[in-house]
Chains A and B, each alone.
Chain A
Amino acid sequence: MTIYEENREGVSGWFRLRRYSIERVLYLMQRLSGIGIVIFAFVHLLYTGWHPGGWGDVILGVLVTYHTLNGLRLVLTEHGFLIGKPIRAVYPYRKGTLYGSQRYLIMIVLALFVIFVFIWSYVALVISTG
């Protein structure tokens, strides 16, 4: 009864992504990729030199590249850069965190992500296997 009364979403709230802005998706991916990397790093530390190899390497590359690039974006935005100055709220509202330079930054991050993932996959699948 208390569960219905409290009406709290819990972890399922993280996955309710439609109807909100793209930053929410990026946040969820950041968290999931972080958990993935933590699992890899533990195993890598306990069995020194171990890495998944082949397609496992590609997946690891995707996680690490995404977490790094989005992390760099967060270092900038979470310290108040590139989100615009406070302005008078005049209708129609253009919120600095959802328009302009922050959105361009997201586009750059996603473009770099795709490029790096392709390079990394090529290295992992073609070059290192010979």
Chain B
Amino acid sequence: MSVDKEIEVRFKIFRFNPKIEFAPSWQEYKVKVNRSTTVLDALLKIKEEQDPTLAIRYSCRQAVCGSCGMMINDKQMLACFTRVLELGSDVIKVAPLKNYRIIKDLVTDFNELFQKEKQVKPYIIRHDLEELLSPTGTYKQTEDELLRYIQFADCIECGMCNSACPVSATDPLYLGPMILNRAYRFISDPRDLGFEQRLKVIDSEHGCWRCHFAASCSAVCPKGVDPAKAIQLLRRALVKKAILGISSSKKVELIPMEHIKGKLELPRGWR
């Protein structure tokens, strides 16, 4: 098949504006696609040529930003990462991600998700403030220690795992795979000392124990992050802490470096 050969495909797109409409509706468009057209390209083509009122959110078009996650043929996929002909069906159903509030058409509201993410403190927590303000060296990190978290650090926050999870389907307060993965990424980081501070949220009624290992999050993840694995390892850390009393925060060695000089300039009004 040559690259230029074009095939006409029917798109069935979810249309809903919660501000003025009562119920959602499905609208059909016909688009000519070739081998390299992604779903996002097709949607943009519809927006350009047929219906400018269609709302989509996207940024990078190359599966890095995680803005364009949507339900394509009833499965969570990145629109920019899925080619139309790869799906192998004549009618392509495009809907917004499940379990998120709809803003308009295919655009969903992630505000609640990021509020939950804030609760687990997604940053490295350290107690040696003096060292952070006037660094004298660098923290030692071996290849093994890097491998412990590097897979979970690849998350692009597209929110598709939370959408696929059967627990978040009924429980809006459940933290969800994305946030638990985020928490484990920092807990397993050898430089981080904030394990105990994160426990209060992670170990709550709507924390990581509501996961039942349906592994749908890993099945839909476009970046190979494997959130299901992160949650199980997180639980292992929690059991270690609760039963054996072993904390997952580790002491990290500081390698002094002579050539690092000077203090960090703090913005005015800080501290």
Complex contact flag A–B (Cβ < 8 Å):
yes
Contacts of B38 in A (CB 8 A): none
**B18 pairs with A10, CB closer than 8 A:** no
**A10 pairs with B170, CB closer than 8 A:** yes
Contacts of A97 in B (CB 8 A): 213, 215, 218, 226, 228-229, 232
Q: A1-B22, A89-B154, A95-B224 are in contact. Are A77 and B216 (CB under 8 A)?
A: no
**B229 pairs with A95, CB closer than 8 A:** yes
**B224 pairs with A91, CB closer than 8 A:** yes
Whether B223 is near chain A, meaning CB under 8 Å from some CB there, is: yes
A77→B24 CA distance, assembly (Å)? 40
Contacts of A78 in B (CB 8 A): 211, 213, 232, 235
Taking the closest CB of chain B, its distance from the CB of A18, in whole angstroms, is 8
**A14 pairs with B213, CB closer than 8 A:** no
**B102 pairs with A4, CB closer than 8 A:** yes
- The listed residue (A5, A12, A30, A85) touching B212 by CB distance below 8 A is A30
Residue of B nearest to A12 (CB): B169
Whether B263 is near chain A, meaning CB under 8 Å from some CB there, is: no
* Count of chain B residues near A, Cβ 8 A: 50
A21→B108 CA distance, assembly (Å)? 25
**A98 pairs with B219, CB closer than 8 A:** yes
Contacts of A83 in B (CB 8 A): 228-229, 232
Most buried by A among B18, B98, B224: B224
Taking the closest CB of chain A, its distance from the CB of B228, in whole angstroms, is 4
Contacts of A127 in B (CB 8 A): none
Whether B225 is near chain A, meaning CB under 8 Å from some CB there, is: yes
Q: A1-B22, A4-B102, A7-B101 are in contact. Are A79 and B232 (CB under 8 A)?
A: yes
A11→B166 CA distance, assembly (Å)? 8
* Count of chain A residues near B, Cβ 8 A: 44
Among B220-271, those with CB < 8 Å from A are 220-221, 223-226, 228-229, 232-233, 235-236, 239
Whether A90 is near chain B, meaning CB under 8 Å from some CB there, is: yes
Taking the closest CB of chain B, its distance from the CB of A13, in whole angstroms, is 3
Most buried by A among B18, B147, B211, B219: B219
Whether A51 is near chain B, meaning CB under 8 Å from some CB there, is: no
Taking the closest CB of chain B, its distance from the CB of A34, in whole angstroms, is 11
**A21 pairs with B215, CB closer than 8 A:** yes
Whether A74 is near chain B, meaning CB under 8 Å from some CB there, is: yes
Q: A78-B213, A98-B215 are in contact. Are A7 and B102 (CB under 8 A)?
A: yes
Contacts of B221 in A (CB 8 A): 93, 95
Q: A14-B166, A79-B239, A89-B224 are in contact. Are A8 and B147 (CB under 8 A)?
A: no
Contacts of A44 in B (CB 8 A): none
**A23 pairs with B224, CB closer than 8 A:** no
**B99 pairs with A7, CB closer than 8 A:** yes
**A19 pairs with B75, CB closer than 8 A:** yes
Whether B186 is near chain A, meaning CB under 8 Å from some CB there, is: no
Among A15-57, those with CB < 8 Å from B are 16, 18-21, 23-24, 26-28, 30-31
**B148 pairs with A86, CB closer than 8 A:** yes
A79→B149 CA distance, assembly (Å)? 17
Contacts of A28 in B (CB 8 A): 166, 214
Task: List 9 other contacts, CB 8 Å, given A13-B98, A78-B235.
Answer: A4-B24, A7-B100, A13-B169, A20-B75, A24-B214, A31-B212, A78-B211, A86-B147, A97-B226
Contacts A/B (CB < 8 Å), 22 sampled: A4-B24, A5-B102, A7-B102, A7-B108, A8-B169, A9-B99, A13-B99, A20-B214, A20-B216, A23-B215, A80-B235, A83-B228, A88-B147, A88-B150, A89-B151, A89-B226, A93-B223, A93-B224, A95-B218, A95-B228, A97-B228, A97-B229
